Amino acid sequence: MSDATALREEVREKYAEAARSVGSGGSCCGDSCCGGGEAASFGAELYGSEVGELPDAAALASLGCGNPTAVAELREGETVLDLGSGGGIDVLLSAKRVGPTGIAYGLDMTEEMLALARRNATDAAATNAHFLKGTIEDVPLPAESVDVVISNCVINLSVDKPRVLREIARVLKPGGRVGISDVVAADRLSPAERAKRGSYVGCIAGALSVGEYRTGLEAAGLESVSIDLTHEVADGMHAAIVKAVKPT
């Protein structure tokens, strides 16, 4: 098994276990996830009152580091794609924002999370929310089919981030935009120094630096890139709002 395959399997199992925990009446946010000791920097607490409109299981399954639906400026009738949708919290919020004429897709590689998300969508009567199985490195949607791509603390978990960023650019329509919450590292930190601050599955060791993120988005063909740090999750590691636009 290659290192990349082993890492992906470790990530998949972590999120499968989180889904099983929520499905059995618990919460995903124990010591083994949500950033470990930095649990207050991750999860449903970052959404405010709007999570009260959703099924409890959607909030309990949240492992994110922000609220991408709040920064993506979603509009009625748009098509939205959430990369690494987990229990569906961001897809369900997006579905409400784009309304009945819009579509919110969630993409996840974990069967257990997909099953949980679909139950949550049914409980929320979100008929415009659709969940797809696949990896964020190989999005199962046509080119130029999406108005907005969002993601919540997932791209840092990818084993091939340049490919993810190229896939984002591929599925976006001309003029489409990116609104991502993710963990990023200060440019001064080497990959080894990032690994000392937290694990790969804890959303720390695999994080891109600010400069790497910007370069990757621009190399994928996106422009107007902005990376705004929101709160620190470890020394030199921050949650951030990442935005970009596909040229028209």
pLDDT-based confidence at residue 36 (cuts at 50, 70, 90) = very low
Amino acid at 138: D
**What integer is the mean pLDDT of 148-163?**
95
What is the spatial order of strands in the sheet that 79-83 belongs to? 129-133, 103-108, 79-83, 146-152, 172-185, 237-245, 223-234
Buried residues in 221-241 as b, exposed as e (16+ CB within 10 A): ebeebebeebeebbebbbbbb
From residue 216, alpha-carbon distances to 72, 122, 166 in Å are 20, 37, 9
216 pLDDT band (50/70/90 cuts)?
A: very high
pLDDT score at 33 = 40
pLDDT at 6 over 50: yes
Backbone angles phi, psi at 238, to 5 degrees: -130, 145
121-130 exposure pattern, b = at least 16 Cβ within 10 A, e = fewer: beebebebbb
CA atoms of 176 and 222, how far apart (whole Å): 10
Give pLDDT tens digits for 65-95.
777 877 788 999 999 999 999 999 899 999 9
Domain count, the chain: 1
What tens digit of pLDDT does each residue of 88-129 get?
A: 989 999 999 999 999 999 999 999 999 999 999 999 999 999
pLDDT surpasses 70 at 191: yes
CATH code assigned at 75: 3.40.50.150
Supply the range of the domain harboring residue 26: 3-245
Residue 64 pLDDT level (bands cut at 50, 70, 90): low
Q: At what angle do helices 161-171 and 210-219 cross, to 10 degrees?
A: 50
pLDDT at 145 over 80: yes
Higher pLDDT, 194 or 57: 194
Distance CA 178, CA 247 (A): 12
- pLDDT at res. 39: 44
